[in-house]
Amino acid sequence: MGSVLEVRIAKRTGFCYGVREAIDKAKESAAAGKATHTLGQVVHNEGVISQLQQIGVRSVDTLDDVDHGAAVVIRAHGVKPEVFDRAEARGLEVIDGTCTWVIQEQRQLEELVEEGYTIVLLGTPKHPEVVGLLGFAPDAIVVDEEEDWDRIPRRKRMALITQSTQPPWKFEKLAAFMVSRAHELRIMNTVCPVTIRRQEDTLETAREVDLMVVVGGRHSANTKELTRLCGIVGTPAMQIENARDLVDPTPF
């Protein structure tokens, strides 16, 4: 204990611009004196959530919990198009915080559906981004881990697209797997560039240090992937949500 000489921070850390923008939009709305809610937690981070609560921004699970006339922030993950319709029907002010990257994904899905492709979506089935995406391509086949992939049929024309935060190596592996399942395979590489850069920076830092502390949501696939990457380069890593989790002094 007490042997830590230097603490290095990976080059690019913290929230991506998509999440930051959604938070900012919620804050601006509240600052303008509007009753403001977020549909789901805008980010799984206690500090930010309590900050927002202090200025009156409450997270709701459903539009039914928002009063007529109040503002509701759609978080970066995006939602099904029906949600916008329902919000309008209920007279709510919608503040769209959908990440530009996710909006592009949604548009591409619509295009692929229109062009008649059998669509495979790599993603975590219940993840809000995936639930939202399925609003644009209800027949898309969602697959996650490799044991799922056998469910992918053989079709003449198939398309592959991914939830933005899936690891790039998994997406590439699935693409190679699908090459022999279709005569024409159209791949939309919708892995978020910020996610990729975080992973690159994690690998770079992990190679230089003796121990990595990965800070993020306990159940966040992103955070778990960063922890896993440290293991790949052979650097011990501990995953925490906040400073309170640092209870064991021995690794330091």
232 exposure class (CB count in 10 Å sphere: 0-12, 13-18, 19+) = exposed
Do residues 222 and 165 lie in contact, with contact meaning Cβ atoms separated by under 8 Å?
yes
Catalytic residue at 172? Answer: no
Please choose, out of 42-50, 147-155, 186-194, 214-222, the segment that lies near its own copies by the rule CB under 8 A: 186-194
Beta carbon of residue 218, minimum distance to its own copies (angstroms, whole number): 29
To the nearest whole angstrom, how small is the minimum distance from the Cβ of residue 66 to its own copies?
36
Map tokens 């200025």 to a residue: 55
Query: Out of 28, 85, 146, 184, which residue is the one contacting its own copies (CB under 8 A)?
Result: 184
Residues, the chain: 252
Q: Are the C-beta atoms of 220 and 195 separated by less than 8 Å? A: no
CA distance 16 to 116: 33
Which one of 35, 113, 134, 188 is in contact with its own copies (CB under 8 A)?
188
For the purposes of burial, counting CB atoms within 10 Å of the CB of 206, is it exposed (0-12), middle (13-18) or buried (19 or more)? buried
The dihedrals phi and psi of 84, each to the nearest 5 degrees, come to: -60, -40
Q: From the candidates 114, 129, 147, 208, give the one annotated as an active-site residue.
A: 129
Closest separation in Å from C-beta 224 to its own copies: 21
Of 163-182, binders to its own copies (CB under 8 A) are 168, 171-173, 175-176, 179-180, 182
In one-letter notation, the amino acid at residue 242 is N
Q: Is 88 in the site for its own copies (CB under 8 A)?
A: no
Contact residue for its own copies among 187, 209, 215, 240 (CB under 8 A): 187
Q: Measured from the CB of residue 107, what is the shortest distance to its own copies in angstroms? A: 12
Q: Which residues are catalytic?
A: 129
Note the residues at the interface with its own copies (CB under 8 A): 168, 171-173, 175-176, 179-180, 182-189
